[in-house]
Amino acid sequence: MRPIISLISDFGLREYFVGAMKGAILSINPDLDIIDISHQVSSHDILEAAFTLRCAYSAFPPRTIHLVVVDPGVGSKRRPLIVATENYYFVGPDNGVFSLIYESESVGRVISITAEHYFRRPVSQTFHGRDVFGPVAAWLSRGIEMAKFGEEIKDYVKLTPPKLKKTADRVVQGMVLHIDKFGNLITNIAATEMEKIGRPGKFTVGGKEVPRVVNNYAEGNPGEPFAVIGSAGFYEIGVQKNSAAKLMQVQRGAEVLVHLA
């Protein structure tokens, strides 16, 4: 099977950055598939990048290399990493962007990349996606052993994602973790977690009531917000053919309360 490298970045599609990074990768290994997950992550938004990766990585075949370049500390002393789990590799900066992977996967090894002969020359202090991360992912896809890239570390940066809290009798508190392009409010409330706690009756988001929990978007009443389990396994608040974010005037980080049935 041809190696696969997936890409997540905040580069956008207007500039040359994505194309140059792909060119650097293909210069080292032209015999691979590069799959774009997203280049529209909000600028410098590490949490959004972590969430995007969490939602997409497991859809790929085993041994896929997931390359994530959302790197506001580029050029600083932050370390470049390779993370190995049972089925996947992850390449990117040590800034917490892999925090949700550390929670959802069993991590085998984390390597701090120090072997500079695998980098593209000269190394720009503002574009490590092209000059460091892309080339490392490409060499990794050619079968170079992880240990040759650097030393194993244990003190990698791990952000603490917001957890569910039981705030009162039969009420669980979460938050809006992401707002997608359709205006759906993606919460941090995983369906698997709620199975252990209880069955949701209704939601309150940013102080506004969401009266119904439905099985799919077609079951929603026009103009009325509803809760549904989304494709990534998290409850989300939507409105049929409309933006829940605009209708409810809710932003990312808003409090979500789940009232158990």
> To 5 degrees, how large is the angle CA 14–CA 20–CA 25?
140
The proportion of the chain whose per-residue pLDDT surpasses 90, expressed as a percent, equals 86
- Are 89 and 63 in contact by the 8 Å Cβ rule? The answer is yes
Instruction: Return d(Cα 130, Cα 160) in angstroms, integer.
Output: 29
| 42 and 121 both lie in a single domain | yes
Q: Is the residue at 159 inside a domain?
A: no
Which of these, 231, 201, 198, lies nearest to 214 by C-alpha position? 201
pLDDT, one tens digit per residue, over 202-253 is 899 999 999 899 999 999 888 999 999 999 999 999 999 999 999 999 999 9
Beta bridge partners of 172: 166, 258
Question: CB-side exposure of 230: number of CA atoms within 13 Å?
Answer: 21
pLDDT score of 167 more than 90: no
Total domains, the chain: 2
Q: Is the residue at 216 inside a domain?
A: yes
The boundaries of the domain holding residue 98 are: 4-152
| 139 and 224 both lie in a single domain | no
pTM summary value: 0.91
Q: Is the residue at 157 inside a domain?
A: no
**3-class SS letters over the chain:** CCCEEEEEECCCCCCCHHHHHHHHHHHHCCCCEEEEEECCCCCCCHHHHHHHHHHHHHHCCCCCEEEEECCCCCCCCCCEEEEEECCCEEEEECCCCCHHHHHHCCEEEEEEECCHHHCCCCCCCCCHHHHHHHHHHHHHHCCCCHHHHEEECCCCCCCCCCCCEEEECCEEEEEEEEECCCCCEEEEEEHHHHHHHCCEEEEEECCEEECEECCCHHHCCCCCCEEEECCCCEEEEEECCECHHHHHCCCCCCEEEEEEC
Burial class (CB in 10 A: 0-12, 13-18, 19+), 222: exposed
Tokens of 194: 């709620």
Report pLDDT for 187.
95
Q: Which of 122, 152, 182 is the last residue of a domain?
A: 152
| More confident site: 43 or 163 | 43
| 134 and 203 both lie in a single domain | no
Report pLDDT for 99.
95
Write the CATH number for 52: 3.40.50.10790
Write the CATH number for 229: 2.40.30.90
Report pLDDT for 87.
96
Instruction: Return d(Cα 24, Cα 201) in angstroms, integer.
Output: 51
- Are 60 and 66 in contact by the 8 Å Cβ rule? The answer is yes
- Are 205 and 193 in contact by the 8 Å Cβ rule? The answer is no
- Are 210 and 204 in contact by the 8 Å Cβ rule? The answer is yes
